[in-house]
Amino acid sequence: MKILVLGLGNIGPEYADSRHNIGFMVADFLATKYDAPRFEVGRHAFVTEMRHKGHSLVLVKPTTYMNLSGKAAAHYLSSLKIPVGNMVVVTDDLALPFGKLRLKGQGSAGGHNGLKSIQETLGTSEYARLRFGVDANFAKGRQVDYVLNPFSADEQIELPTRIEKAADAVLAFGALGLERAMNVVNVK
C-alpha cells in the first residue's frame, strides 16, 4: 500500500528554517532516517519514496509555494493512484503550542493557505492532516512575518525532538491507519 506524505513549505533558502516549512523538515527527517533516495524534482514537487513496515511512503515537498500546494496533492494522488484516504498533510499550526501535534481526518483550512489550496483543488476537506504547533507569539498584523521566520533559539533546542515525534506520527498513520494513529498521536 502506498501512502502520500505531503510536507508543506516554501522552496528557497530564505524559507528553509521557517515555521511555515515544518512539513518540509519532517519529510527531510523521514527521508534521512530511512535512507530514502535523494529527493528528485518531479511535477510540482520534490519527491522521494521510502519503505516502513511493508508500506511505501511517497514523500512530497511541493515546489509551488504554499498557496498552490493543492496542485502537488492532486497530481501525486492521481498519477500514483493513491486514494485521498492514504494521504497525510504535514503542516504548521498557529493555534497549537510549539511542538504540540494534532492528527485529524478532516476540518477547515483554519486560515492556512496551503490547506485552503488542497481543499479547493481536491474538492474535499476530508483528508488527514498532521498539525504541528508553532504557537502564536506575534504582534497583531505580524502573522506572515512570524511564520516565515525561523524558530526562536529556545524552540530550536527542542525542534529535532519535536520533528522526530511528528515523523513518528506520520509512520503511525501509515502503519495503523487514521483512527488508530489518532489514538496514539493525540494523547494529552
Name the residue among 45, 86, 92 with its Cα closest to residue 68: 45
- The residues near 177 (Cβ < 8 Å, ≥ 6 apart) are none
As given in the structure block, the three cell numbers for residue 144 are 506572515
Instruction: Give the rounded percent of residues in the chain with a pLDDT score beyond 70.
Output: 99
Residue 188 has pLDDT above 80, yes or no: no
20 counts as catalytic: yes
Residue with cell 485521498: 84
Give the model confidence (pLDDT) of 53-105 as tens digits: 999 999 999 999 899 999 999 999 999 999 999 999 999 999 999 999 999 99
Could you read off the pLDDT of 116-138 as tens digits, one per residue? 999 999 999 999 999 999 998 88
State mean pLDDT over 141-150. 88
Enumerate domains of the chain plus CATH numbers. Answer: 2-185 (3.40.50.1470)
Kindly report the number of other CB atoms within 10 A of residue 75's CB atom.
Answer: 19
Q: What is the pTM of this model?
A: 0.95
SS3 content of the chain, % helix, strand, coil (to 5): 45, 25, 35
Catalytic residue among 20, 44, 75, 112, which? 20
